[in-house]
Amino acid sequence: MVVEEIGAAVKPVGIPGKGVVDREEIERVVRLVLESEEGTVMRRKARELKASAVKALEFGGSSYESLSSVVKEKGEHKI
């Protein structure tokens, strides 16, 4: 999801049948992220995702409110 839909990551290509990534592929991916224009865009998107997650977890944020609602609901239905 982060790779395909959001574009904030890159997925290395593993060696077929072995389930490992060789050093050349690791180098390619690191250079892509650190040195290319595409990498600049990925890093910007990653910062935006981080800011969005922090906001959602803050008091009053969407995740905070959702979790508070679940806790409140479960507290009302004690066994």
Q: Are 13 and 21 in contact (CB under 8 A)?
A: yes
Span 57-65, mean pLDDT?
91
Span 46-66, mean pLDDT?
93
Q: Are 64 and 57 in contact (CB under 8 A)?
A: yes
pLDDT at 79 over 60: no
Distance CA 72, CA 55 (A): 21
Structural domains of the chain, count: 1
Domain that holds residue 9: 2-76
Distance CA 47, CA 31 (A): 19
**pLDDT by residue (tens digit) across 34-48?**
999 999 999 999 999
> Can you list the alpha helix ranges (DSSP code H) found in 1-79?
23-35, 37-57, 62-76
